Structure 1
Amino acid sequence: MKGRLLSGLCIAAAVLGIAGCNQNPYLAGPATYPQPTSSFGPVISQQGVNPNDSRMAELNRRVQLLDDNNRQLHTQLAQSEQQAQVYREELNLVRKQLADTNQQLEAASIAAREAQNKVRGFQASTQMRGGASIQPNTNLSRLASQLNLGGLPVQQDGDRIRIAIPSDQLFAPGTAQLIQQSAQVLDPVAAQLRSLFPRQRIGIEGYTDNVPATAGGSAASHQLASAQASAVLDMLTRRAGMPLGQFFIVAQGANRPVQPNASAAGRAANRRIELVIYPETF
């Protein structure tokens, strides 16, 4: 009995000894320690890489790339604008050259028409009609003395007679538009021409001052002179019933001024229509 009790006590002591050993911290298994943390998130070890840093680096790279592309586009745009400006300047130069060429062509055309009209007038005495040569009228001076044109100047010019009519009495300033009183000026002139010079060739010469009618310069002055002479021709033939074949027109423009253009009175005197009566008949 005593032997069994001692045996039980030994077993109990052994069990307690084992249990006590398991509770000993020095005999426990490998320890685990908590990871340090901060308020900004987990602390990365020296060997690790933060994913946020990688994303930020990628975004910075893309922003830099966009900035580079933007600078290139601005550079290309500036170059395109400079090229467009060059093209515009070249186009304006071509337009100016074309306008100058057109003015020169117009002036040459007017000069050609003037020369043709002058030739027709000078050749009137040699024209043949009905097989006989038309002879000049040698009584122009005597007939011219019978003209009574209400103050319009009549001048002998070699074998021709010139009747000067101020353009300001016929046209609106700077135009070929006849004013209302022009008929009062031209009707008496037409009546006496029909009476005294029914067969004489008559040139209608248009003159201007030296002030260009428009930006076209001398070409514009010749155009204005030609248009005014044509308007007088229309009045003499349509309104007064004189033969169209009796007349020809010459646009003199600012040529042959009768007074200096330095004053308003001189320019007004130079703006005129001259009816030139030739000794040749038609």
Structure 2
Amino acid sequence: MPLGICLCLGLLVICFSGCSKNGDFTNPFASAGGGRSDRVPSGSPAQQVAQLEQWRRDSELEVKQLRQSVAGLTEKNQTLQTQIANAQRATQLQNQHLKSVSDRLAATTSELAQTQMQKQGSSQDAASLNELNQEKERQLAATRQSVQKLQQQLKESTEQLGTVQSQLTQSEARAQSAQQSVEHLTASSRQRGGATIRSNQNLKMVTLPTDKATIERDGNVIRIQLMAENFFNPQTAQIQDGEIVTLEQMGKKLAEAYPDQRIGLEGHANPNQDPKGVWRNGHHLSSAQAMAIYEFFLTRSVFRSDQMFIVGHGANHPVYSSATETGRRGNDRVEIVIYPDAVK
């Protein structure tokens, strides 16, 4: 063994010996887990050196192991630090995601609130629209009722128009009949037994001696109406006995006023009349009543036969509505028509 090493080992032995005697020296190679701090070299100096050498090697081995442990712990610590950093980053990402979710939740909550407000507004709008719709329905119902009333009025007006048109048609037919009679009389102006017909356009009105007959001017003719119930027995062409004097007085008055005029005796019947006995219909009865007046005037020389003619109109020319009893009685009549044509 070299001298220097031996000297060093000797010094170490002396130091350990002195320290052990003093009790103040702590083995620098002792470890808490191995219990080596209580060991003291024994034996000869060479043995003590050997023991110290062994302890040194053990210490170096422990140091090496400790360094390896430190290195492992350091590596583990770095791994843990890396994991911690990763966890921190993940936490940060989670926080960011959580913040994003919170923001989205807040936005969704706000949108939900707005939607609820809009829904509330929509409900109010729906209520307003429903009320408006109900009002329109009421207006539509009122309009329909008005339309129905107008349609009913139109129907009534149409019926009235039809009635008026019917009356107009009857009036036109009556006028045409009168015109035909005038034309007939004009055409017959040729000589008939020495008589000639000529026109007189200035017929005057007379006052009748009875209130059971009426007189009126109708264009260029004069009409005298004799209601059948006032002059004839019911459903007959027989003149009432009590009216013979009345007819004689009226015939005398007419003969004085119209001695040469053309005289038409026109019989009329009620449209609802249902004659009994020998009369087939109202037309037949009205013609018979006109003939009765003709015979009456002729036999009493009121008018000449060449002055008079007979027409039976039946129910073709009513002057009153047959819906009432008064109207029906008024339509049963004989009219004495004074024409402007004179027969000489």
TM-score (norm 2): 0.43
Give the corresponding residue for 2:127: none
Cα distance change on mapping 1:133 and 1:251 into 2, 3 Å: closer
- Give the aligned partner of residue 217 of structure 2: 156
1:244 partnered with 2:279: no
- CA shift, 1:214, in A, is 3.7
Q: 1:257 to 1:116 in 2, by over 3 A?
A: closer
Q: Structure 1 residues 206, 252: closer, same or farther in 2, change over 3 A?
A: same
* 1:179 matched to 2:240: yes
Residues 275 and 285, structure 2, Cα contact 8 Å, conserved in 1: no
User: Greater relative contact order (Cα 8 A, min sep 6): structure 1 or 2?
Assistant: 1
Q: C-alpha offsets along residues 44-103 of structure 1, whole Å, 9 cap, x if unaligned?
A: xxxxxxxxxxxxxxxxxxxxxxxxxxxxxxxxxxxxxxxxxxxxxxxxxxxxxxxxxxxx
User: TM-score, structure 1 length as denominator?
Assistant: 0.52
2:265–2:309 Cα contact (<8 Å) kept: yes
CA distance in 1, matches of 2:201, 2:238: 37
Q: Residue 253 of structure 1 corresponds to which residue in structure 2? A: 314
**Aligned-partner residue type, residue 137 of structure 1:** N
Equivalent in the alignment of 1:128: 190
Partner of 1:264: 325
Once the two structures are superposed, residues 168-192 of structure 1 have per-residue CA deviations (whole angstroms, 9 ceiling, x without a partner) of 1111111112211231331122101
CA distance in 1, matches of 2:328, 2:256: 33
Matches within 5 A, 1:183-194: 183-194=244-255
Which residue identity is paired with 2:260? R
2:318 counterpart of 1:280: no
Residue 4 of structure 1 corresponds to none
The alpha-carbon deviation at position 194 of structure 1 amounts to: 1.1
Equivalent residue, structure 2, for 1:208 = 269
Corresponding position of 2:102: none
Question: Following the alignment from structure 2 to structure 1, what is the Cα–Cα distance between the partners of residues 251 and 287?
Answer: 20
Instruction: Classify 1:214/1:273 alpha carbon distance in 2 versus 1 (closer, same or farther; 3 Å).
Output: closer
The corresponding residue for 1:67 is: none
1:10 alignment partner in structure 2:
none
Amino acid at match of 1:208: A
> Using the alignment, how far apart are the partners of 1:190 and 1:215 within structure 2?
30
- Structure 1 position 116, deviation (Å): 11
Q: Distance in 2 between the 1:254 and 1:121 partners?
A: 22
More helix by share: 2
Give the Cα–Cα distance (whole angstroms) in 2 for the partners of residues 165 and 225 of structure 1: 12
Contact 1:174 1:213 in 2 (8 A): no
User: How far off is 1:157 after superposition?
Assistant: 1.0
- Go from structure 1 to structure 2 and tell me whether the alpha carbon gap of 1:120 and 1:161 turns closer, same or farther (over 3 Å shift): closer
Q: Which moved more, 1:236-245 or 1:119-128?
A: 119-128
2:208, 2:215 within 8 Å by CA — same for their partners in 1? no
Counterpart AA for 1:279: P
Residue 230 in 1 paired to residue 297 in 2? no
SS at match of 1:173: coil
Q: Residue 326 of structure 2 aligns to a residue in which SS?
A: helix
Residues 166-224 of structure 1: CA distance to partner in whole angstroms, max 9, x if unpaired? 111111111112211231331122101210111110100111112233489x9611100
Look up the SS of the partner of 1:252 in the other structure: strand
Identity of aligned residues (%): 32
Per-residue CA shift, 1:114-143, capped at 9, x if unaligned? Answer: x99985653323413499974311211xx2
Are the structure 2 counterparts of residues 179 and 118 from structure 1 closer, same or farther at C-alpha, using a change threshold of 3 Å?
Answer: farther
> What is the alpha-carbon distance in structure 2 between the residues aligned to residue 213 and residue 179 of structure 1?
21
Aligned to 2:202: 139
Alignment correspondent of 1:168: 229
Task: Report the AA paired with residue 283 of structure 2.
Answer: H
